[in-house]
């Protein structure tokens, strides 16, 4: 079942990132005149698409071009004509997995499991100049899979599954200087988190 869901998710993300289009008079129309990026066989499943509060689509993906050592995180926004990079491209330290995005005022957040081996939580924020790390990079104790990120009143909250404790979902918020737990988390057979 897990493999089937992963396969379906991979196909949907690949189609969304490669052929993102909008509906216009019952037909699909291309959004932008060129691809968002070159298709990366090892990274298309590490993608996310979200709309900002104004309805503009953003795509975050593991970006790998020939000659690169490993895929790194890139975020692009559709500006009404073409896909443009949001800040610098390839800004993560390691390969991003399970990328999630959220928006607050003029800020864009990206939450992901960072690195091929560590898979620890990292949150980045873009507020008009550069992508900056929110708190330390790789701040969880063990490996995670991301579940979601929201920003309420300027405070980012994340939910993730702790792979060291199967069936456990934890919630954290950034208090201005570090990430802190919100409650004790959820335990049991947690299959899905909706936010």
- Cβ burial of 137 (10 Å; 0-12, 13-18, 19+) is middle
CA 138, 140, 145 angle in degrees (round to 5)? 90
CA 138, 139, 140 angle in degrees (round to 5)? 100
- Residue 4: which H helix or E strand, with range? helix 2-19
- Cβ burial of 112 (10 Å; 0-12, 13-18, 19+) is buried
CA 18, 36, 21 angle in degrees (round to 5)? 55
113-144 residue pLDDT tens? 998 778 999 999 998 889 999 999 999 988 99
Report the distance separating Cα 140 and Cα 56, nearest Å.
31
Sheet containing 155-162: give its strands across: 144-152, 155-162, 169-174, 179-181
9-29 residue pLDDT tens? 555 555 555 555 554 567 887
Q: Could you read off the pLDDT tens digit of each residue along the chain, which spans 195 residues?
A: 444 555 455 555 555 555 555 545 678 877 777 667 654 555 455 789 999 999 999 999 998 877 778 889 999 999 988 899 999 999 998 899 999 999 998 899 999 999 877 899 999 999 888 999 999 999 998 899 889 999 999 999 999 998 888 778 899 999 999 999 998 766 665 555 554
pTM of the model: 0.78
Report the distance separating Cα 78 and Cα 108, nearest Å.
14
CB 99 within 8 A of CB 110: yes
> Residue 104 in 3-state DSSP?
strand
Taking alpha carbons only, the member of 76, 73, 77, 75 closest to residue 97 is 73
As given in the structure block, the two tokens for residue 55 are 């309805």
């Amino acid at each position: 079942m897990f493999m089937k869901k992963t396969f379906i998710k991979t196909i949907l993300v690949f189609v969304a990132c490669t052929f993102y289009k909008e509906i216009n008079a019952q037909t699909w129309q291309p959004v932008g005149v060129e691809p968002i990026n070159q298709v990366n066989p090892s990274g298309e499943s590490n993608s996310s698409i979200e709309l900002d509060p104004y309805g503009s689509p953003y795509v975050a993906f593991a970006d790998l071009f020939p000659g690169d050592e490993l895929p790194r995180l890139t975020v692009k926004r559709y500006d009404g004509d073409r896909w443009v990079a949001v800040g610098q491209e390839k800004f993560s330290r390691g390969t991003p997995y399970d990328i999630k995005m959220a928006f607050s005022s003029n800020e864009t957040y990206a939450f992901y499991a960072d690195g091929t081996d560590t898979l620890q939580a990292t949150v980045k924020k873009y507020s008009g100049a550069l992508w900056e790390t929110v708190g330390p990079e790789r701040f969880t104790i063990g490996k995670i899979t991301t579940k979601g990120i929201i920003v309420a009143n300027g405070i980012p909250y994340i939910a993730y599954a702790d792979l060291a404790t199967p069936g456990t979902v934890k919630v954290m918020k950034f208090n201005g200087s570090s990430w802190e737990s919100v409650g004790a988390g959820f335990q049991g057979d947690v299959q899905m988190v909706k936010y």
